[in-house]
Amino acid sequence: MTNVDNPSLYNNGQMILRVGDDGNVFNLSSLKDFERSLVSHCFAIKFVREGIERYTINDQSYTVTSGSYLLMNGEKEGKVVIDSNNYVKGMCLNVSNELIADVVATLQAPNTPVSDLDLSDFFYTKHFLENQYQAPHTHLGRKLQEISSCVNNNSFSNDQVNQELFYQLAECLVSDQIQVFKQLQSITTVKAETQRDLCRRVLRGKEFIDSNYPETLTIEQIARMAGMSEYHFFRLFKQMIGKTPYQYILSIRLQHASLLLKSDYSVSDVAITMGFSDIYSFSKAFKKHFGLSPTGYVAAKI
């Protein structure tokens, strides 16, 4: 990153380069030994490019590894600790409440379901679900990967840290979190903190599926990753996502299968790659989902 305004430098080669104003700020860091309390009055996106950053937010611990990010709003208290032999490279982006409010007002659908909280309360108060996400599985994460790739290639400069960039980040953030809000509200429980904890656990299970869908997955495996009993996870997953875990796994496999078929993979190779037991079971599921057999789908594409 070149021509950075107001860099903040640390000893022993450690550094944080900062661009932006008080509300919308881009921080690029390279740190080995670092500990600091988190002070934020806006939305903070903590993305790790290389290494591990450890956060404690309201007594909840997060180990943020390469390719994942932590999202929180300004209502949270906590600290970050980096203790590594190698430089841990990260990006921290702060997005102002005003910018988020503008995007929320624009994107909020008239039929957004609400119960005790409305969408504004969710975003700007302690009710917001601070959580860790794998970058490839969210709109915001994919945008962060795009920025990180530019930084790695030395093709990102402070000229690109402008209002347009933060509008794109805010739009991705809000788009993701409206879905989380709906999922959170689908969990009926007396205590708000219990609701948030259960939502985090189910989303952890969903991310495990998103990362391992071609493999043979069982409810037992996924529930264990989520730290829940099998039936409790099954029930809440269906409640939040609108599909059973098996239905969700099948839909992801078939969507990726359609992309592979468009890339000229053979039907048998796609069936094996997507974890189907044989071509027959793959073809049957594919036709039921898309209304065409795999060969018919390829022919229609041609």
Q: Please give the pLDDT value at position 163.
A: 87
Q: Please give the pLDDT value at position 125.
A: 80
Q: For 241-244, which contacts have Cβ atoms below 8 Å and span 24 or more sequence positions?
A: 241/183, 241/202, 241/206
Spell out the domain ranges in the chain.
Answer: 8-109+128-185, 200-301
Q: Please give the pLDDT value at position 117.
A: 46
What does the alpha-carbon distance between residue 188 and residue 199 come to, in Å, rounded to a whole number? 11
CATH of domain 8-109+128-185: 2.60.120.10
pLDDT along the chain (302 residues), means of 10: 42 78 87 88 92 92 96 85 95 91 72 52 84 95 95 84 91 93 84 89 96 93 95 94 94 94 90 92 93 89 64
Overall CATH class of domain 200-301: mainly alpha
Name the pairing type of β-strands 25-38 and 15-20.
Answer: antiparallel
Q: Please give the pLDDT value at position 71.
A: 95
What does the alpha-carbon distance between residue 179 and residue 174 come to, in Å, rounded to a whole number? 9
Q: Please give the pLDDT value at position 58.
A: 82
Q: Please give the pLDDT value at position 105.
A: 79
Q: Which of helix, strand or coil describes residue 6? A: coil
Q: Please give the pLDDT value at position 93.
A: 94
Q: Residue 144 has which token pair?
A: 């962060």
Rounded to 5 degrees, φ, ψ at 131 are -160, 160
Q: Please give the pLDDT value at position 90.
A: 95
Q: Which of helix, strand or coil describes residue 205? A: helix
Q: Please give the pLDDT value at position 12.
A: 55
Q: Which of helix, strand or coil describes residue 102? A: helix
Q: Please give the pLDDT value at position 11.
A: 46
Q: Are 285 and 278 in contact (CB under 8 A)?
A: no
Length of the chain: 302
Strand partners, 145: none
